[in-house]
Homo-oligomer: A and B are copies of this chain.
């Protein structure tokens, strides 16, 4: 991508909008769909001017300042930062190398909540488990003085559903290995690519479990380890993972409103998260989500205020445990909300809508489906989730929820890696997201009657 790309991207985005509007006029959208670069500009500027925004770090704080200034400049009202504190993760030096049977460097990254290796690192036998289930079956104490290695090849699916089961080695592996005496845990990255970049992400140590150093190696390194394991050769690894948890780190949510014509009606809540992992620049996770919901909110009110207020939640500290969503639900427990949605699966096109509305809102649901059909979005039969940042308020208030599911086929190639950068975003697909969100907002934010969740 070169200097001329930005111009090219903008014109590509423009063309796509025009073509979509011309070929497939949406009933609930104006005949000449507005073509603006709001989403792309937010995303380009955020990834360029701020970059990584690790939860609880000074860069996340810089991102909050940036966000408040940008949302005010875009005309939002009541723009504010709502602070809270978290136990953050501070990344340190991280290296690994096989010292036996063959000397080979391994590309590794620490997982969030990992504790540091001893000064100078640790060198130990690494025991290969082909899966998390195999680790679970290891006898108690059998890993004393050893490093546990968990293989676990995640697969790519359009609906991203591989992340749940295959991600468990990352979420649970270190804690399980710890209970069996392991000194440290290394996993195959929870990802679907073949790049040499490992995927970070949080691991969890439940209360009572001793935290141990935990890291993930890239897919090619995991392939190497699997080949050596297949030869039956014992492996020794020299491991340095100096990252550590930091209690009482400052974080916060950024909240902004586009007031509606009737302030007495509960608002529509749109969520994304502002924090990102530190390896990349948080373009697809989740700068894109914040860019999409913000541009769509503005576009929904471009020709005049919607009936209901549209509220944005750019949440903090999603990656380390969904702290921003919990803080929002707690701080705003006393305010009624009408419906919540979240964008947090990248920037590729929306392919499916999942509707979580009460039977009494069937007419609203039908209008949403009809508004999305011209954009090539199919109605799914699953239960919408809403995303980590809005789930606590959805659960607390039993809110209506709509998921606009993005194509996740290549999302986990990039997720939590250094490769999460702006060049991975297709401006035309980003624009399709904005168009889809706008179409939904024009229905739900103009609905006068009560909106209720499915159950």
Contact = CB atoms under 8 A, between A and B. Distances in A.
Interface of A: 1-3, 5-6, 44, 47-52, 59, 102-105, 107, 130, 151, 153, 194-197, 219-220, 223-224, 226-230, 280-281, 417-419, 421-424
A421 B223 contact: yes
A3 B230 contact: yes
Given A417-B196, A422-B223, A102 B48 contact: yes
Given A102-B49, A151-B3, A194 B226 contact: no
Contacts of A421: 194, 196, 220, 223-224
A195 B419 contact: yes
Contacts of A102: 48-51
Contact of A197 (B195, B223, B227, B422): B195
Contacts of A228: 48
Q: Which 7 interchain pairs have the tightest Cβ spacing?
A: A196-B418, A220-B421, A2-B153, A51-B104, A1-B223, A3-B226, A196-B419
A220 B423 contact: yes
Given A5-B223, A423-B219, A424-B194, A418 B107 contact: yes
Nearest to A221: B421
14 contacts: A1-B194, A1-B219, A5-B226, A6-B227, A48-B228, A51-B102, A51-B103, A52-B105, A59-B103, A107-B418, A194-B421, A196-B421, A220-B421, A224-B422
A197 B196 contact: yes
**How many of these chains are in the complex?**
2
A229 B48 CA distance: 11
Nearest to A230: B3
Nearest to A196: B418
A421 B226 CA distance: 14
A297 to B, nearest CB: 25
A52 B104 CA distance: 8
A213 B47 CA distance: 28
Contacts of A219: 1, 423
Highest count of chain B CB atoms <10 Å: which of A5, A227, A229? A227
Contact of A280 (B1, B153, B196, B227): B196
Nearest to A98: B51
Nearest to A220: B421
Nearest to A153: B2
A227 B423 CA distance: 11
Contact of A153 (B1, B50, B105, B418): B1
Contacts of A107: 418
Contacts of A48: 102, 224, 227-228
A263 B421 CA distance: 59
Contact of A6 (B105, B230, B418): B230
